[in-house]
């Protein structure tokens, strides 16, 4: 699918009454691919093939959607230049579930800038990143060394969801507050599941209604936590909630309101937990399919010569050169967030295509990550494609540099993922602890994807058979 540079016509839909039929069929095909084991991207791939263009038009649930391959230069312009006539747009259901103030959903550039500055300056300061790595290492060690040692078979996705949830909650509300959020993991899951559901808010028992009810319980818990902190004047420095509440008390220019804080706490959990757990799961799967790479990574991990009951630091993670490449390659192959939606605020041209006001342009990262013109042998898991990426100069880019720079796993421009360093830290730590304690292989090779999942993931959750290192070496 090398479509870069090609600007074919944006095939118009049939006219008149046939258009309704076409819209209905497109929606039905989209929902059918979601509800099948092939995953929702099947819908997109088949349309690229049909239209033989980097851009095609479809209609889902009454909205016109344009898919634009991120291989096309116009796509990176849309992401990085953030032209004022485009705004980020998730489905209405996402805004209902995450809240009107969620950084993921706010469409106004000014509101977004304010929320992003408030969150980025508090959350991602260097000391909090080191503390986060230490907390995640404690959780991963507890899981892999203490719990997995007595098991022969484990399901990676379940375990990864559990520890990413706990790590993110601890970062947001501290270890004490995480106790209040711990019982709400199933509610967070219900909100995630509802994000792609049909918005049947008045029909009892629907996924969307369950998601809204779950959001209410999470918001109530966050309100209680904030009230308790205010009551006891209990605003420590070391978690995000305290920092945001302090700023509010002090009237800081980057302060968020109570509602903005609550919506964004939920957003960070949703944006960070399932994405990272899914990425960890795919990484484990790719490495069970590529045992030589698994062994090479293990050699690097043992070569770090960390002694005794060590805890991993950011400096240790910096030494995991091949590990880092494996993380990047897993992210490329899995492309957890397949496309990034933007809405046109007026009629305009994109890559020679006429786009009308209110159409959604989805910038498709997956087609870029599997484009052979950009990534050599894109269906092969090969961390060494990034060898030599940090070397050379900008004028004459080597192939590895080109491949590294075109990666779009965390988006680009002003809406780039706020948690990308945290996600990479979690993946590297998990990888290191698994490699240094076990060899593993898949216990069930069924490639089917989970139906109706927000991000593509294996239906079986990636069950693996573990062999402790000291038994097999």
Residue 139 makes contact with ligand HEM by CB under 6 A: no
- Closest contact distance (angstroms) between CB of 356 and ligand HEM is 21
Strand partners, 155: 463
Q: How far is CA 445 from CA 154, 184, 464, in A?
A: 14, 32, 10
CB of 345 to ligand HEM, least distance (A): 16
| DSSP per residue, 79-105 | HHT--TTEEE---HHHHHHH-TT-TTT
Q: Nearest approach, Cβ of 50 to ligand HEM (angstroms)?
A: 25
106 is in an annotated binding site: no
CB of 442 to ligand HEM, least distance (A): 21
Q: Closest by alpha carbon to 213, among 105, 106, 100, 96? A: 96
Work out which of 40, 41, 136, 340 binds ligand HEM, going by CB under 6 A: 340
User: Which positions from 208 through 237 interact with ligand HEM, judged by CB under 6 A?
Assistant: none
267 to 296: interface string for ligand HEM, x by CB under 6 A:
xx--xx--xx--x-----------------
Options 57, 101, 116, 166; binder of ligand HEM; rule CB under 6 A: 116
CB 459 within 8 A of CB 37: yes
Residues 361-420 that bind ligand HEM (CB under 6 A): 409-411, 415, 417-419
Distances (CA, A) of 380 to 289, 297, 383: 11, 17, 9
Residues facing residue 27 across a β-bridge = none
Query: Is 191 one of the binding residues for ligand HEM (CB under 6 A)?
Result: no
Task: Give the binding-site size for ligand HEM (rule: CB under 6 A).
Answer: 24
Residue 332 CA to residue 323 CA, distance in Å, equals 14
Cβ pair 88, 108 in contact under 8 A: no
The bridge status of strand 63-69 relative to strand 153-155 is unpaired
By the rule CB under 6 A, 103 interacts with ligand HEM = yes
Name which of 69 and 276 has its Cβ closer to ligand HEM. 276
With CB atoms as reference, the residue minimizing the distance to ligand HEM is: 419
As measured in angstroms, the least distance from the Cβ of 63 to ligand HEM is: 16
Is 70 an interacting residue with respect to ligand HEM (CB under 6 A)? no
Among 195, 312, 337, 435, binds ligand HEM (CB under 6 A): 337
Query: Which residues, other chains included, contact 438 with Cβ-Cβ below 8 Å and sequence gap of 6+?
Result: 144, 148, 466, 467, 468, 469
Residue 140 makes contact with ligand HEM by CB under 6 A: no
Q: Is 156 in the site for ligand HEM (CB under 6 A)?
A: no
Judged by beta carbon, residue 135 or residue 271, the one nearer ligand HEM is: 271
Bridging pattern class, strands 348-350 and 86-88: unpaired
Q: How are the residues of the chain apportioned to helix, strand and coil, as percentages rounded to the nearest 5?
A: 55, 10, 35
Of 327, 428, 333, 325, the residue nearest 384 (C-alpha): 325
Annotated binding site: 417
| Residues at the site binding ligand HEM, with contacts judged by CB under 6 A | 88, 103-104, 116, 168, 267-268, 271-272, 275-276, 279, 336-337, 340, 409-411, 415, 417-419, 422-423
């Amino acid at each position: 699918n090398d479509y870069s540079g090609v600007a074919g016509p944006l095939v118009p839909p049939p006219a008149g009454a046939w258009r309704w039929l076409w819209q209905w069929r497109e929606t039905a095909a989209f929902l059918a691919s979601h509800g099948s084991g092939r995953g929702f991207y099947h819908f997109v791939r088949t349309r690229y093939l049909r239209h033989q263009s980097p851009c095609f038009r479809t209609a889902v649930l009454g909205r016109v959607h344009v898919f634009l391959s991120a291989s096309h230069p116009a796509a990176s312009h849309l992401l990085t230049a953030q032209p004022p006539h485009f705004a980020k747009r998730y489905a209405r259901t996402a805004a209902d579930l995450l809240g009107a103030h969620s950084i993921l959903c706010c469409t106004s550039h000014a509101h977004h800038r304010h929320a992003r500055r408030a969150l980025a300056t508090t959350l991602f300061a260097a000391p909090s990143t080191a503390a986060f790595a230490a907390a995640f290492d404690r959780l991963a060690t507890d899981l892999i060394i203490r719990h997995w040692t007595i098991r022969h078979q484990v399901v990676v996705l379940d375990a990864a969801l559990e520890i990413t949830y706990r790590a993110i909650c601890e970062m947001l509300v501290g270890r004490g507050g995480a106790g209040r959020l711990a019982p709400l993991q199933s509610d967070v899951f219900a909100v995630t599941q509802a994000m792609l559901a049909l918005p049947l808010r008045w029909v009892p028992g629907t996924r969307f209604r369950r998601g809204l009810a779950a959001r209410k319980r999470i918001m109530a818990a966050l309100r209680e936590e904030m009230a308790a902190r205010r009551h006891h004047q209990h605003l420590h420095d070391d978690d995000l909630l305290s920092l945001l509440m302090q700023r509010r008390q002090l009237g800081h220019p980057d302060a968020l309101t109570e509602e903005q804080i609550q919506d964004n706490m939920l957003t960070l959990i949703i944006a960070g937990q399932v994405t990272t757990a899914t990425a960890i799961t795919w990484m484990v799967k790719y490495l069970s399919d590529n045992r030589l790479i698994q062994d090479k990574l293990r050699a690097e991990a043992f070569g770090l010569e960390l002694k005794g009951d060590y805890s991993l630091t950011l400096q240790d993670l910096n030494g995991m050169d091949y590990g880092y490449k494996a993380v990047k390659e897993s992210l490329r192959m899995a492309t957890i967030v397949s496309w990034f939606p933007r809405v046109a605020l007026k009629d305009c041209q994109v890559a020679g295509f006429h786009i009308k006001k209110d159409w959604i342009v989805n910038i498709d990262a997956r087609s870029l990550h599997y484009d052979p013109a950009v990534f050599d042998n894109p269906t092969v898991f090969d961390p060494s494609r990034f060898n030599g990426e940090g070397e050379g100069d900008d004028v004459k880019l080597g192939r590895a540099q080109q491949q590294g720079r075109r990666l779009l796993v965390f988006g680009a421009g002003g809406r780039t993922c706020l948690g990308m360093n945290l996600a990479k830290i979690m993946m590297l730590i998990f990888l290191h602890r698994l490699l240094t304690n076990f060899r593993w292989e898949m216990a069930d090779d069924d490639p089917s994807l989970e139906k109706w999942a927000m991000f593509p993931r294996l239906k079986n959750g990636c069950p693996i058979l573990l062999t402790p290192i000291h038994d097999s070496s």
